[in-house]
């Protein structure tokens, strides 16, 4: 039979191995949790930047519309003053005013279309950021801790082998 010191060393070694593997698995899982938190924070920061840009683009679009309206108002006023001074009225004045209104309408449509295009692109950027963040989180593989049953079985097998080897030696000597 294996001596008690050898058996004790085998058991102690198995316990230390189990504790070490368990500690390593816990450390890996903690690192994965931190990486997931970092990926989530990165996503939130990216969304915040996207929404800030959306706000800036909306404000720029609003300002462009306001400038277009002011410019059209100025042009209509100039035309009305000039036509009044020159004594012009009727269809030619109406046609000129319609041209000014049409140009203003085209500016409004263009400005709105540009904002819609930018907003749609920002929506795509937001979806891409979400997919990237989720992909980062999904790529984290949880660490598997050691199996207590496996360690106990392995230690038992080592002890049994040790006993069998001792028994063979005892038979050989005896």
Q: List pLDDT tens digits, range 51-96.
A: 999 999 999 999 999 999 999 999 999 998 988 888 888 888 889 8
On whether residue 27 sits in a domain, the answer given is yes
Residue 156 above 90 pLDDT? no
Residue 28 belongs to some domain of the structure: yes
Number of domain units in the chain? 1
Backbone angles phi, psi at 69, to 5 degrees: -65, -45
Confidence of residue 174 (pLDDT cuts 50, 70, 90): low
Domain contains 91: yes
The rounded distance, in Å, linking the Cα atoms of 107 and 96 is 17
Cβ neighbors of 111 (< 8 A, separation 6 or more) are 61, 64, 65, 68
8 Å CB contact between 143 and 32: yes
pLDDT-derived band at 12 (thresholds 50, 70, 90) equals confident
Domain region containing 48: 4-159
In a domain, 174, yes or no: no
Token pair for 1: 């039979």
Cβ-count burial 14-53 (b if 16+ within 10 Å, e if not): beeebeebeeeeeebbeebeeeeeebeeebeebbeebeee
Using one digit for the tens of pLDDT, what is the confidence trace for 85-127?
888 888 888 898 999 999 999 999 999 999 999 999 999 999 9
- Is residue 22, in this structure, part of any structural domain at all? yes
Count of CB atoms within 10 A of residue 104's CB? 19
Query: 146 in a domain, yes or no?
Result: yes
Tell which wins on pLDDT, 16 or 125.
125
Q: What is the DSSP letter of 90?
A: S
In a domain, 171, yes or no: no
Look at residue 77 and tell me if it is in a domain. Answer: yes
């Amino acid at each position: 039979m294996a001596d008690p010191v050898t058996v004790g060393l085998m058991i102690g070694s198995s316990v230390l191995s189990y504790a070490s593997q368990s500690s390593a698995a816990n450390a890996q899982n903690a690192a994965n949790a931190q990486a997931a938190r970092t990926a989530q924070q990165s996503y939130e920061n990216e969304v915040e930047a996207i929404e800030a840009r959306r706000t800036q683009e909306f404000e720029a679009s609003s300002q462009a519309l306001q400038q277009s309206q002011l410019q059209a108002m100025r042009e209509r006023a100039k035309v009305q003053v000039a036509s009044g001074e020159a004594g012009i009225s009727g269809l030619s004045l109406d046609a000129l005013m319609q041209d000014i209104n049409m140009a203003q309408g085209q500016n409004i449509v263009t400005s709105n279309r540009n904002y819609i295009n930018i907003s749609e692109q920002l929506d795509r950027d937001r979806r891409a950021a979400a997919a990237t963040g989720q992909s980062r989180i999904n790529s984290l593989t949880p660490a598997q801790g050691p199996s207590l049953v496996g360690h106990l079985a392995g230690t038992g097998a080592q002890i049994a082998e040790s006993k069998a080897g001792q028994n063979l030696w005892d038979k050989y000597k005896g």
